[in-house]
Amino acid sequence: MQVTAMARRSARASAPKSAPKPRSACAIACTLDVVGDRWSLLVVRDLLHGKRTYGEILRSPEGIPTNMLADRLKRLEEAGIIESAAYQERPVRFAYALTPKGRELGEVLGAIVRWGRKHIPGTRTLTGS
């Protein structure tokens, strides 16, 4: 039996869940509610740089804890920023990819990189981190 992202989403959808209420209608506040934690944009960065699997993302230099990575992948998928597809059956393993919505965050990350390189001494662009 193949496990798909759709099947996982369907299982999650059956559990009662209340959508968090936005803090305000401010676009910045709402965006931070989705990707403003310590790890989400780093996961997006890794996917933009070609990483595709849990293990590849886990080996990033920032050292995200395994439980946090699993949670962020789930949250990013629920937000429509990434999608997953099973590439192995036993044990089931998933490959992750950015959706068009997620790829648009590349522009945001580019702006953050430019700002950081300009204003924070010693920073650099990590390609393929």
Return the beta strands (E) in 1-129 as ranges. Answer: 82-88, 93-98
Q: What is the mean pLDDT of the chain?
A: 87
At residue 17, the pLDDT reads 52
At residue 10, the pLDDT reads 46
Class of domain 27-119: mainly alpha
The pLDDT confidence band at residue 19, using thresholds 50, 70 and 90, is low
Q: What is the Cα gyration radius of the chain?
A: 16
Domain ranges of the chain: 27-119
**What are the pLDDT digits (tens) for 40-76?**
999 999 999 999 999 999 999 999 999 999 999 999 9
**Which of left, alpha, beta for 4 (phi over 0: left; psi -120 to 50: alpha)?**
beta
